[in-house]
Structure formats: C-alpha cells, structure tokens
Amino acid sequence: MKKIAVCYKWVLSDTDIRVDEKTRSLNMEKCKYQVNEYDRNGLECGVQIKKASGRELVGITLGKDTASSAKDALSRGLDSVFYLDDAALADIDKIGAAKALAGMIKKVGDVDVVICSEASSDDFAQQTGPRIAALLGWPSVSYATKVEVNGDSFTLERKLDDGIECVSVAAPLVITISPEVGEAPIPGVKDILGAKKKPANALAIGDTGLSADALKPASAIVSVLAPETSRKRQRMNPDGVSLDQAAAALVKELSQAGIL
Amino acid sequence: MRDIWIVAENPAWAATLVSAAKSLDADCAITAFVKGDEAAAKDAVTYGAASAFALPLPAAGLWEDYAPTLAEKAKTDKPAFILVSASRRGRDLAARTAALLEAPCFSDAAQLALSGNAFSCGTSVFGGTAVRTSSTSAPVVIVTLGAKSYEPAAADASRSGAVATLPYSAGAAKVTERKPRVKQSVNLPEAAKVVGVGRGFSEEKDIAAARELAAAIGAEVGCSRPIAEFFKWMPEECYIGISGQILKPQLYVAVGISGQAQHTFGVRDAKVIVSINKDEECLMHQNADYYIVGTWQDAIPAIVKAAKG
Ligand SMILES: Cc1cc2nc3c(=O)[nH]c(=O)nc-3n(C[C@H](O)[C@H](O)[C@H](O)COP(=O)(O)OP(=O)(O)OC[C@H]3O[C@@H](n4cnc5c(N)ncnc54)[C@H](O)[C@@H]3O)c2cc1C
C-alpha cells in the first residue's frame, strides 16, 4: 500500500516564555513541547487523504525529545510514527532538517504523498515542505488551502498574494498546507487511548543515509533576544483619572505628536 | 566585487531588494530576476541592477518551477547572495533553490550585515517574541525580505543593462485556473492610522463601535486573526500579524486585543501604539505607548467625544 507521510515538528509552546526585562533573554523553563499547531491541520489533511484514497498514514518527525511526541501525534489519526531523536540534532538547521526528513521518507518506503504545513510556530521559516520537494525531485505545491484526491490524481487550490491558483498534479508530490485547509479536531479519549496501541518507530541517523557530519548546521546562532521596545507604556487612566479625562489627555498627546 | 542576485515578485519589490543588496555591498553587481515580462525586468535595471531577467508567469505552470533553472545558473555564476521577495511564491522558490544549492536561507530577515565574509541577520522566532541573530560564511546565502524591509531604490531611467527572458522548463504540476484576488476596499498597509479589533468584541455587530472610533480619528479598521479566521467577521486581508498584514502606520489603536507576539509583530514598527483593554496585565498594554484599562464599551465613546471635541 502507498503511504502518506505527514511531517510534524515537536516545538516548545511560546505561551509560557518569560522575557528577562534586563537582559532581554528568554526563559523557556515553563514551556512545554507540543505538536506544532499548523502541523495539526497537516495531520488532519493526511487523515482526509487517507479516507479518500485508502493510503496508509505515517507521521515523521525529528529533533530533541521527539520520542515523547509519538503518543500525541498518534492520537491525531496516524497509523504509525517514525521519529529520529538524537542529541546530535539539537542545533540542526533548515538544510539538515530537510535532508534528514527526506532520508526518513525514503527509509519508510512506498511514500508517494508528503504533507508539511506552512510553518512552525517557533521559527516560522516556511521552508521545509518546498525544501523536501526539491531534494526528492517531486512537485511542490505550497500554501494549499484545498486538497482533493482521486487515486493518484490531486486537485489543489493554493492561496498566493495575488489570488488563488488551481493546480492538478499526479503523485508523487509534496503538499505544504495552509491552516485554512481544514480545522484539526481535538483528539477524544478514544483517540488518546487508541494511540497507545499504535507503533512508534525509532530511526537512527544512519537510517537516513546521512552522517551526523552531513547534518551539521551551516549557520551559527549568535543570540536570541526579545526585541528592544521603546514604547512609553503610559497608563492614561490611573486611579482617580476618569475615562473622559484619560481620553482627552490621549487625544492631546496624539495631536501634539502630529498624529491627530 | 560581489555578485548579488535579487529575485522579485514585482518591480516594486525589486527596488527594495536592490537597496538591500547595496546595503550589504555598495559596489556589488546585481543581477535581477523579476516576475513578469522584459519591461518589468527593465525596471529593475533602472533601480540599479546591472542586468535583468524576466521570469514570466507561465500560463499553465507554477512560477516557482523556475527554481531548478535558477539553481543551475547559480552553480555557474556563483552569486554570494540571493535576495528574494518574501511573497508566497518567492518563499517557495527561495526554499527550493536553497535546497538545491545546499544553502542556508533566512526567512523575512532584518538587520542584514556583512563583516568580511561573515554574514549575519536577524529572524523572528516564537511568533515575534524574540529575534534570533544567525551568522554564516556559506558560499551562497539566500535571504527572503519583506516589501517594506528597505527603503526602495530610486529609479534612474538613464541606467542601462542587458535584459533577457529566463527559459522555463515546466514541472509536473499544471495550473488549471487562476482566480485573481478580489481587491478589498480597505488598503491597510497604506493606511496612516489603523484601529485593530480583537476578541474583546463578542458580537459582530459590536464592530460598529470600532468603526465609529476609526471614523472619528480618520483610521482604517483591521483585526486580530481570530476575528477574520474563525469568526469571519472581517475579510482575511484585514488581519494583522506575523501571518497576516505587516503594517507601519503612524498610529495603531488595539481594542480588545490581548497582544500575543504573533499579533504585535504586525505593528511593531507603528510610530505610536494605543491599547484599550479591560485586563490591566495584558501584553498589549506592555507593547503600547498609551493605554487605557477599561472596556471598549466605556473607552470608545470617551475617545470619540474627545476626538470630536
Ligand atoms: C503560528 C501562529 C500564527 C499566528 N499569527 C497571528 C497573526 O498573524 N495575527 C494575529 O492576530 N494572531 C495570530 N495568531 C494568534 C495569536 O497567537 C492570538 O491567539 C491572537 O492574536 C489573539 O487574538 P485576540 O487578541 O483578538 O484575542 P484574545 O487573546 O482572546 O484577547 C482578547 C482580549 O480582549 C480583552 N477584552 C475582553 N473583553 C473586553 C472588553 N469588553 N473591552 C476591552 N477588552 C476586552 C481581553 O482582556 C483580552 O486581552 C497566530 C498563532 C499562531 C499559533
């Protein structure tokens, strides 16, 4: 049976990031790993393609702590998960990630549909899907908002800056979805329990046909700092100031600045 | 002297990318690749490109399928940088070209700098919570840049340079139809003042109050993503943020918006930010110049009255 491979990223949620006011550095201690939000739409898109075409649905991920991602991902409709969890991948860049994912896809075998989502919430680089397509030498359809499948034929719509492009293409292909492709249902109790029984397969770097050296980043991270904000943060209605007074003072400030 | 390539979705973006290239190396030789006909490519020459290629939109093919041709050409011409417009087609083409060249690609980058052969730039991470500065000495570096990332280079009609059309080899994906985007009546990126509506508005009809505020101060109305994407109370073109519109207005008034990084990213370059929110602790207040702690139901009428006063 042919397979659909959905790539998902195991990312740190950004809602609990604390910024140190003085150093502008980030404290991520409270942040938890989760399946990247857009990838949940990608997983659901995979479920729909599976329903319509009878393919097998596998999830693919790599990076730190991805072994612990399997249960969550499997509760979202996957038949199995393949993960590459190796400390050597801690600072992998976009070049390496796409190469390793392409290698994993080949290792899984019989994959003729790859689904990525537009972006991950941490880097928002919007590169992985098209990069994988280029490496596999398969057509790339990015920013897909509608995906229909009939056997090996795909009809897609993609949303671009100047409008909608309707595309028809046969598998194999790489689809990079936008979240509008369809909402991802929240897994129910049954899905979560069922996930425990599904296979989660560990792969090693060697399985990708690459060496750890070939996955070394081509760029170095110099710093990660919150942007300097020079906002005034002036409260217009502190205790004792009415809203009318606050509004008048605000309008005055804006007029003096030449804005109103 | 460095060779720098620019790949632009349109001539206006080419003007921005020419400035970016010159900021990296004032003496660089620029080769431009512009979506459109040779007249569009010629525009890039007037902005300062030494030569230019037209990349016409193929009638039945993906524009991004120029990527393999560009990558092959880059292997022989060896540009030091390929600066690409961060349009959707541009991003896809940049990523594919980067994969084929095994090159790093920095998306929507800022603060591009070159010291010797070491290139560095900043990219936003965690939804705009932080900027990651990266450095690389890779032989070819690809960077995508926003339409307003640099002051566009001025046109000089007396400049001349070779202009040709790049050959296109069609990929397997076929375009069967293109539906142009329906032009919206609001043009947020050009608006000097913008009022942003957030989930603090619990019903569609309440947006009338935001429109009243906007009318009183001469602003357009935009919104946070959930208002457009989930509630569909406003067109998608109206939502502001990292995955929506990136604005640079004189004034942004956020009403009932919590101020998550993904949203504030879209207005970080606003000259003045005002926040109206009942939650004293909300992030939007932290990112504002002036804020009012209160409900919009109370605050908007007061501001409208003061503005008309
Ligand atoms: C990958 C990714 C990309 C994203 N991109 C974007 C983007 O581009 N743009 C974007 O906007 N979001 C984006 N988001 C979503 C973003 O994280 C927030 O969820 C969203 O911005 C919240 O919208 P909001 O502030 O309107 O709603 P909420 O966060 O629900 O905030 C509502 C606010 O209204 C206040 N309020 C309630 N009642 C009143 C009242 N009567 N008067 C005054 N205030 C009141 C509340 O105190 C609260 O602060 C993205 C998310 C992800 C994961």
Distance B197 CA to ligand 1 centre (A): 9
CATH class of the B188-307 domain in this structure: alpha beta
Share above pLDDT 70 across residues of chain B, in percent, rounded to a whole number: 99
State residue A160's pLDDT score: 96
pLDDT tens string A17-54: 999 989 999 999 999 999 999 999 999 999 999 999 99
Distance CA B102, CA A6 (A): 23
Bridge partners of B50, per DSSP, are none
Evaluate whether B234 touches B196 at the Cβ level (below 8 Å). Answer: no
Over 80: is that where the pLDDT of B185 sits? no
Q: Which of B195, B227, B243, B298 to mutate to test the pocket of ligand 1 (most atoms within 8 A of CB)?
A: B243
Over 80: is that where the pLDDT of B184 sits?
Answer: no
Please count the other Cβ atoms lying within 10 Å of the Cβ belonging to residue B183.
Answer: 8
Cα–ligand 1 centroid distance for A164 (angstroms)? 27
Q: Write down the pLDDT at residue A106.
A: 98
Measured between its terminal Cα atoms, the distance across chain B in Å is 60
Distance from CA of B214 to the nearest CA of A (A): 12
Taking the C-alpha atoms of residue A2 and residue B119, their distance in angstroms, rounded to an integer, is 43
Nearest-CA distance from B158 to chain A in Å?
A: 31
Round to whole Å and give the CA distance between B180 and A147.
19
Query: Chain-wide mean pLDDT for chain B?
Result: 96
pLDDT recorded at residue B1:
81
Task: Give yes or no for a contact between B307 and B217, defined as CB atoms under 8 angstroms apart.
Answer: yes
The residue of A224, A234, A242 whose CB has the most chain B CBs within 10 angstroms, and thus the best one to mutate to test that interface, is A224
Cα B258 to ligand 1 centroid, rounded to whole Å: 5
- pLDDT, tens digit, for every residue of A84-113? 999 999 899 999 999 999 999 999 999 999
Tell me the CATH number of domain B3-165, given options 3.40.50.300, 3.40.718.10, 3.40.50.620, 3.20.20.120: 3.40.50.620
Residue A125's pLDDT band (cuts 50, 70, 90): very high
Among B125, B229, B231, B278, residue to substitute to test ligand 1 (most atoms within 8 Å of Cβ): B278
Mean residue pLDDT across chain A: 96
Q: Does B290 score more than 90 pLDDT?
A: yes
pTM for the model? 0.92
Q: What's the pLDDT score for residue A141? A: 98
B204-213: burial string, b at 16+ Cβ within 10 Å, e else? eebbebbeeb
Predicted pLDDT at A75: 98
- pLDDT value for B195: 98
**DSSP string computed for B168-223:** ----S-EEEEEEEPPPPS--GGG-SEEEEE-TT--SGGGHHHHHHHHHHHT-EEEE
Q: Is pLDDT of A159 > 90? A: yes
pLDDT at B181: 86
- Among candidates B107, B125, B292 on the partner chain, residue whose Cβ is nearest the Cβ of A224: B125
Closest Cα in chain A to B92: A130
User: B309: number of CA atoms within 13 Å, CB side?
Assistant: 16
Q: Dihedral through CA B297, CA B300, CA B306, CA B309, nearest 10?
A: -90
* Chain B: residue whose CA lies nearest to A255: B307
Q: Is the pLDDT of residue B183 over 80?
A: no
Query: Nearest Cβ partner of B290 from A125, A180, A236?
Result: A236
Residue B65 Cα to ligand 1 midpoint, Å, equals: 37
Answer yes or no: is pLDDT of A230 > 90.
no
Q: B228 pLDDT exceeds 80?
A: yes
Handedness of CA B233, B237, B240, B243 (dihedral sign): positive
What are B79-110's pLDDT values in tens digits?
999 999 999 999 999 999 999 999 999 999 99
Average pLDDT value for residue range A75-92: 95
Residue B40 has pLDDT above 90, yes or no: yes
Q: Are the CB atoms for B79 and B3 separated by under 8 Å?
A: yes
Q: Do the chains contact at A234 and B87, CB–CB below 8 Å?
A: no
Average pLDDT for residues B137-153, to the nearest whole number? Answer: 96
Q: C-alpha dihedral over A29, A34, A36, A40, to 10 degrees? A: -160
Among A48-62, B63-77, B175-189, B272-286, which is the least confidently predicted range? B175-189
Residue of A nearest to B293 (CA): A237
Q: Where are the domains of chain B?
A: 3-165, 188-307
Would the pLDDT of B153 be above 90? yes
Q: Does residue A257 sit at the B interface (CB-CB below 8 Å)? A: yes
